[in-house]
Amino acid sequence: MITTKTLIAGAVGAALLAAPVRADIWWETDMGTLYWETTVETYSVYQFFVGSSSDIDPTFKIFVDGTSQLHTLDELSGKTFGGIWYDYEDGDCGLGARDPNGQTARNWGLVTITFGEGGDTFSAVLKDCATHDVAYRLTGTPGL
């Protein structure tokens, strides 16, 4: 039986699925809460919260190329994007890499992120700068 409560729940669910990917969304990952910070050129910039707090970790950012104009989970659905991660604390990469904001990091690498159908999950592989070995693997779901 369809009730008013069922209709309202359905409408809320549909609204959440079409929610903006930007500041309205964060991703729960096995490394902590990852959230959208800003866009720079063609990149969306993501950062982690520190532990269980709402404090931002300024030392680690992920720049995902080609996503700055994508605004809903549906637009991410089934797509794969590349980018670069930067750890601004001491690193072992030798040469530093400059992020799109002009900040230099000595610990960095490439990232590939693939979104599931509907944009409701993602998996990411973060590779080391020097060896290109896998440095981190992330999986996440939206924290809507």
Question: Residue 9 falls within a domain, yes or no?
Answer: no
pTM here is 0.74
Question: What does the pLDDT read at residue 134?
Answer: 93
Query: Is the Cα dihedral 98, 103, 108, 113 positive or negative?
Result: negative
Question: Residue 6 falls within a domain, yes or no?
Answer: no
Q: Give 64's strand partners.
A: 44, 83
Question: Residue 52 falls within a domain, yes or no?
Answer: yes
Question: What does the pLDDT read at residue 50?
Answer: 66
Question: Residue 27 falls within a domain, yes or no?
Answer: yes
- Show pLDDT as tens, one digit a residue, over the chain (144 residues): 433 333 233 322 333 333 344 445 688 888 888 888 888 999 989 888 766 666 677 788 999 999 888 877 888 889 999 999 999 887 788 888 999 989 999 889 999 999 998 888 899 999 988 888 998 899 998 876
Question: Residue 2 falls within a domain, yes or no?
Answer: no
Question: Residue 134 falls within a domain, yes or no?
Answer: yes
Number of domains in the chain: 1
Question: Residue 3 falls within a domain, yes or no?
Answer: no
Domain that includes residue 130, residue range: 20-142
Question: What does the pLDDT read at residue 126?
Answer: 93
What's the rounded Cα separation, in Å, for the pair 14 and 9?
Answer: 9
